[in-house]
């Protein structure tokens, strides 16, 4: 599914929402107690999350040059204005 979205929002599929929640839960567990994880596990969790977000950008046609955020609770991707550093 590719959508041409410039500003507004789009909702993740149930499968993508579940994958995102799992990835975010893993990162939250690391944030809460990093000493329980090896350097390799932390790197893998971060890389996996970045790859998932890259996949979502491609799948949902998000313009990555814009500000965007995903709600883990609802699966809504909020797409804002153009990114200005």
Q: Would you say the pTM of this structure is higher than 0.95? A: no
**Is it the case that residue 7 has pLDDT exceeding 80?**
no
For residue range 16-61, list pLDDT tens digits in order. 999 999 999 999 999 999 999 999 999 999 999 999 999 999 999 8
Q: What is the 3-state secondary structure (H, E, C) of 4-71?
A: CECCEEEECCHHHHHHHHHHHHHHHHHHHCHHHCCHHHHHHHHHHHHHHHHHHHHHHCECCCEEEEEC
């Amino acid at each position: 599914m590719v959508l041409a979205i410039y500003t507004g929002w789009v909702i993740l599929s149930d499968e993508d929402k579940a994958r995102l929640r799992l990835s975010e839960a893993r990162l939250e567990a690391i944030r809460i107690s990093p000493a329980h994880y090896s350097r390799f596990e932390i790197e893998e969790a971060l890389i996996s999350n970045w790859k998932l977000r890259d996949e979502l950008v491609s799948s949902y046609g998000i313009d990555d040059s814009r500000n965007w955020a995903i709600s883990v609770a609802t699966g809504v991707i909020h797409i804002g204005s153009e990114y200005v550093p």
